[in-house]
Amino acid sequence: MKARVLISLAALALACGSTDDKKGRASGGTGATGSGGTSMIAVTGGTGGSTNASGGSANGGSAASGGSANGTGTGQTAADLRANACNGWTHEPEVLPVVLMLVVDNSASMRDRPNRAQTGGTKWEITRDALAQTLDGMPASAAVGVLFYPNMNTSGSDVERPVDQCVNTNAMIPIALLGDPGSAQRATIATSLTNTSPQGSTPTHDAYDYALVNGMQASRLTGNRFMLLITDGAPTLGKNCQGGGLPDTPAPTDPIVAEVLAARQDGVRSFLIGSPGSESVNGMDVRPWLSQAAAMGATAPSGCSINGPDFCHIDLSQNADFASALNAALARILGLITSCTFDVPAQGRDGETVNRNQINVVYTPGDGSEEQLIGRNDAAGCEDGWQFDADGSIVLCSNTCFLAQNDPAGKVELLFGCDSVDEGGVR
């Protein structure tokens, strides 16, 4: 995401009442813990009862605990709200865009139809189409690279060989900004999806390692960094292109899990999708290695189990409708990695506890137009506004997030401190 975030933390231990004579009183809307259905609304100020850091009333309602305030304004603006935030300190971190490296299995087994279906597209055709749709939905600020593997004919070997003997490294698309529709990077990826055909064995370790080192780590673009590995089976060639290369002779997977963990320790998280065919080899369930890799890659959902049945990776091996399941999985990943999420510090400058009920979000468009307050909206699947997620972070709702993501010079401000929620009659 391109928009900057300015976080202004009030020194909550200070007596906010000392500034009351300079402030308008809160009016209008719902209280701090209530939900606001309106977002992107201008501050109107207020005249109401007094407010203070411990949650005093605003025209009879307890503002800090969600009480209502009614009323008229005195023309207070978002700038006033910031200026009156009790001698706070400021921090201006960049909200990082997403940097994504796709590592996509296109071995010979991807020519099969999922789950032995007799009709419909092959696993590769379904994967190709789903990836195209997902990339079309990614913002211009996202940076993406792609490595299909093996993307060439392969053969087994008892000796170690260079990676280009089992992975078509020359066809890797380096990470670059996607840019607007019709950009060179989007066109390059679209062409590669069209021109790639399944063939060869499954050198997963070499492919992941090469994409990590020569794709992700070689990129100088800043952002939240992710690898996404999509495969329909256990690896059949180990590191350095070594192994039998046949479906019934899987290569060791522990080294891949270790590689994923090392990547995480270097700041790169890894998603893993197991397509139909990834579930078993010679009657043995091999999904636990994908599950463990997802856990080591820091993308496992809470409550998952390495050994299933609720695996930690995205297990699509049993889905009757692979196409729908894959599209849903990619959409979910896209939502996670491009979400507009801002951490709320637990403490202020001098160790004061930050009150979740005293937070406002301000958006300033990059074109210089009037700054706007974004209303809190606790509705499930909200489209406009912001809300807290399960971890206590602030998340912009979908429409508001899209607006911020696609405004290169825009700025999102999180204002923390006494009276910040109630000032201007926003809620």
For 116-172, the pLDDT digits (tens) are 777 789 999 999 999 999 999 898 889 999 999 999 999 999 999 999 999 999 999
For 294-303, the pLDDT digits (tens) are 999 988 887 8
Whether pLDDT at 365 is above 90: no
Residue ending a domain, among 315, 337, 359, is 337
Separation in Å, CA 343 to CA 30, 64, 253, 308, 389: 24, 21, 35, 31, 10
114 plus 9 within the same structural domain: no
Residue 26 DSSP symbol: P
Burial label for 260, CB within 10 Å (0-12, 13-18, 19+), is: buried
Residue 78 DSSP symbol: H
Confidence of residue 78 (pLDDT cuts 50, 70, 90): low
Exposure on the CB side of residue 144, measured as CA atoms within 13 A: 28
Hey, what are 164's tokens? Answer: 């280009």
Structural domain count, the chain: 2
Whether pLDDT at 363 is above 90: no
Residue ending a domain, among 272, 305, 337, is 337
What does the pLDDT read at residue 88? 52
What does the pLDDT read at residue 381? 66
Q: Say which residues have a Cβ less than 8 Å from residue 86's Cβ, sequence separation at least 6.
A: 10, 11, 12, 14, 16, 19, 53, 417, 418, 419
What does the pLDDT read at residue 416? 73
Lookup result for tokens 């039998």: 244
By mean pLDDT, which of 54-58, 245-249, 330-334, 407-411 is the weakest?
Answer: 54-58
**pTM reported for the whole predicted model:** 0.65
What does the pLDDT read at residue 218? 97
What does the pLDDT read at residue 301? 83
What does the pLDDT read at residue 74? 31
Taking all residues of the chain, what is their mean pLDDT, rounded to a whole number? 75
Whether pLDDT at 343 is above 60: yes
Q: Count helices and strands (H / E) in the chain.
A: 8, 18
What does the pLDDT read at residue 346? 72
86 plus 228 within the same structural domain: no
42 plus 188 within the same structural domain: no
Lookup result for tokens 């390692």: 209
Range of the domain at 362: 4-94+342-425
Other beta carbons within 10 angstroms of residue 79's beta carbon come to 11
By mean pLDDT, which of 26-35, 284-293, 403-412 is the weakest?
Answer: 26-35
Hey, what are 305's tokens? Answer: 């189990």
φ/ψ bin of 32: left (φ > 0), alpha (ψ from -120 to 50), beta (otherwise): alpha
Residue ending a domain, among 337, 361, 392, is 337
Answer whether 12's CB lies under 8 Å from 348's CB. yes
Whether pLDDT at 238 is above 60: yes
242 plus 385 within the same structural domain: no
φ/ψ bin of 204: left (φ > 0), alpha (ψ from -120 to 50), beta (otherwise): alpha
Burial label for 387, CB within 10 Å (0-12, 13-18, 19+), is: middle
Q: What is the mean pLDDT of residues 389-398?
A: 71
166 plus 56 within the same structural domain: no
318 plus 352 within the same structural domain: no
Answer whether 202's CB lies under 8 Å from 156's CB. no
Separation in Å, CA 395 to CA 199, 374, 392: 42, 11, 9
What does the pLDDT read at residue 408? 59
Bridge pairing between strands 284-285 and 280-281: antiparallel
Q: What is the mean pLDDT of residues 389-405?
A: 72
